[in-house]
Amino acid sequence: MVDWTPSGLTAIGGDRWDTSSATAWTVGPDSISGQRVEATIGGNAKVGTWTLRYIARVVSPGVYRWEGSVIQAAVAPDHGIVLGPKTITIGGASGS
């Protein structure tokens, strides 16, 4: 899976980890290049909810649009999900 941080943030790291529960797991990034953050969920991945989690630092405060994501199964291109965009406020700036 690939995520792009908004222009006010830059991803700086994170570890791969798995906080297993019955149906939810968390994974950290495999690689970070600029604002692009990549993570892989292996072929033997458990079915359920997965969360990509990483650390980012503030580059410049403001109100930013965090673009939506498209997640697609590599072995089944007809399986996936589209997540909508979000508006985030970084560093106490006000906005809607």
Q: What is the SS3 assignment for 4-53?
A: ECCCCEEEEECCCCCCCCCCEEEECCCEEECCEEECCCCCCCCCCEEEEC
Rounded to two decimals, the pTM is 0.61
Q: Given this model, what pLDDT does residue 21 score?
A: 57
In this structure, how many other beta carbons lie within 10 angstroms of the beta carbon of residue 27? 22
Higher pLDDT, 12 or 46: 12
Q: Which residue has the higher pLDDT, 38 or 17?
A: 38
Across the chain, what does the average pLDDT equal? Answer: 75
Given pLDDT bands bounded at 50, 70 and 90, which one contains residue 20?
low
Whether 19 contacts 26, CB under 8 Å:
yes
pLDDT score recorded for residue 17: 55
